[in-house]
Amino acid sequence: MARENRPSNGPAELAPALGPVATLRWLWTQLTSMKTALWLLFALAVAAMPGSFLPQRPVNPVKVSDYIKANPGVGPWLDRLGFFDVFAAPWFGAIYVLLFVSLVGCIVPRIWVYLRELRNPPPAVPASLAKLTGYRTGVVTQSPAEVLDAAAASLKAKGFRVRREADAVSGDKGFLRELGNLVFHLALVIVLCGLGWNALASFRGTSIIVEGGSFSNTLTQYDEFTSGAAFRPSSLTPFSFRLDSFDVKFTPKGAPSVFDAKVTTDGATKNLEVNSPLTFGNTEVHLLGNGYAPVVKVLDGNGNVAFSGPAVFLPQDGMFTSAGTIKAQDGRPERLAFDGLFLPTVVPGSLAFVSSFPDALNPQLLVGIWHGPPKVETGTPENIYTLDTTGLTKVTDADGKTVRARLNVGDTFAIPGGGSISFTGWQRWAKVQVSTNPGLWIVGIGFVLALAGIACSLLVRPRRAFVRVGAVEGGTSVQLGGIDRVDGRPAVDAELATLASAVGISSETLATTEGDPA
């Protein structure tokens, strides 16, 4: 006796839990859906936004430090979360990898489906052509075979694939539309590959060069240097150049109008300007900034030269009020150090600590003076733009007041306790960025393919056309049908009109049905 199925009065039974394999399959299905890929693409765009409005440590570590100091509450948290190096942050990399996997998992099955559709012949003629979007019928005097031959020839001439049956011909075209979609999505993968390779193999370094100084493309020449995990120092392109002069012109209101660096490389003189880099193989040299380097001479307490030459000072405002340090580490019996301001243009008689114009029309050098016992050399690199006052004390006069010197070009200041500092002139310096981006050509190819894919998917019109013939008294009856899933009825009518003319229909009626043509 069969068991009777009765409704249960107890609690509803829970659906069985998915096993590990089924769970992984479900997660893979969700990850490789086009909806997920679009969400991940949006998430990647949002994740990249902090890199545009927050300073980034690889590009400008000084601004990052200043931001953290100015925002002691939120700054350290942003630093811990990687917002000052967005493109190297783990969360950005996770989104990047997920998007890559999602696109690949979404595209590969579609490629196999597309190839399978290409191998399949056009579909058979539907039972009722009158239900299609476009429909025409008429009677011709030609034989059925002649009508089908003419229809097949016309469809082939229009780029249709043709399937011939005993009493019908069917044709389809427009497979390049799906190919365009696939190419577009493959182009996104190529762009991601190019960006990834560029992040791994690229490098970016900066160096400040004083007029008359030289630069060689070796790691020791860089003031700042960042690179990807796949970068190797041996891949640096060998080149060198000398900064002969740096010309700067300003408008009467102090706005810069000309930045022109003249450099000599391989015996030839070239111009290095903003947005006009020098190229050495796959390496580019860009002009980033400029400033002043006051030329000073420091004598120690024994009367020996402890420092002589230009000292790079960094601009602090638009008028090029510049701050810097001068370190006479070899001074004896005590070492000397100076922190100061360089003012390109000082109003005569003014005691202000700012410049009134960015060009060096009336320069002054203001320095504070420090002294201390000789320092043991440890080989640890120091920041030449900041002064570590550990072991140093400020120089004071007989009254115990801190000594500061204000020097015009040509002035010498005698330091209480021994030694002197002379301000002999000034030179300009230029800051250059040397970089290579080996993955950008891959990105460029991806963008070109993406544009080609979009154009193909927008311009190509997938259509199907059908012809059925039948013998009637006095000739052959012809039915024409067509569907167009993109452009709709008008495009189908134009296609059918051409086909009707090819098979010799001179009088026909037009029938159209509403609804889904599929």
195 lies in some domain? no
Q: Say whether both 266 and 240 belong to one domain.
A: yes
Q: What is the pLDDT of residue 381?
A: 65
473 lies in some domain? yes
Task: Give SS3 for 214.
Answer: strand
Would you give the DSSP letter of residue 88? G
Burial class (CB in 10 A: 0-12, 13-18, 19+), 512: middle
Q: At what angle do helices 144-157 and 489-503 cross, to 10 degrees?
A: 130
190 lies in some domain? no
Rounded to the nearest integer, the mean pLDDT of the chain is: 85
Range of the domain at 470: 124-173+461-510
Q: What is the pLDDT of residue 228?
A: 82
**Closest by alpha carbon to 170, among 467, 498, 462?**
467
Q: Say whether both 138 and 240 belong to one domain.
A: no
Q: Say whether both 312 and 280 belong to one domain.
A: no
- In 156-239, which ranges are E strands? 161-164, 168-173, 203-210, 214-216, 224-227
Q: Say whether both 502 and 474 belong to one domain.
A: yes
58 lies in some domain? yes
| CA separation for the pair 265, 271 (Å, rounded) | 11
383 touches 367 (CB < 8 A): no
231 lies in some domain? yes
| CA separation for the pair 360, 171 (Å, rounded) | 79
Instruction: Enter the pTM of the model.
Output: 0.68
Query: pLDDT tens digits, residue range 248-282?
Result: 888 888 888 888 899 999 889 998 888 889 999 88
Q: Say whether both 304 and 265 belong to one domain.
A: no
Q: Say whether both 139 and 35 belong to one domain.
A: no
Q: Sign of the CA dihedral 84, 90, 96, 102?
A: negative
454 lies in some domain? no
DSSP states of 114-158: HHHHHHSPPPPPPS-GGGSSEEEEEEESS-HHHHHHHHHHHHHHT
- Answer left, alpha or beta for residue 57, where phi above 0 means left and psi between -120 and 50 means alpha: alpha
Q: Say whether both 37 and 78 belong to one domain.
A: yes
Q: Say whether both 167 and 295 belong to one domain.
A: no
Q: Say whether both 139 and 205 belong to one domain.
A: no
Total structural domains in the chain? Answer: 4
108 lies in some domain? yes
Q: Say whether both 309 and 284 belong to one domain.
A: no
Q: Say whether both 234 and 266 belong to one domain.
A: yes
Tokens, residue 297: 């001479």
Domain boundary among 88, 114, 140: 114
Domain boundary among 86, 114, 142: 114
CATH number of the structural domain spanning residue 499:
3.30.310.80
What residues of the chain score a pLDDT lower than 70? 1-18, 59-60, 62, 378-382, 487-490, 506-518
441 lies in some domain? yes
Q: What is the pLDDT of residue 480?
A: 92
Q: Say whether both 219 and 286 belong to one domain.
A: yes
Order of strands, edge to edge, in the sheet holding 214-216?
214-216, 240-250, 256-265, 268-273
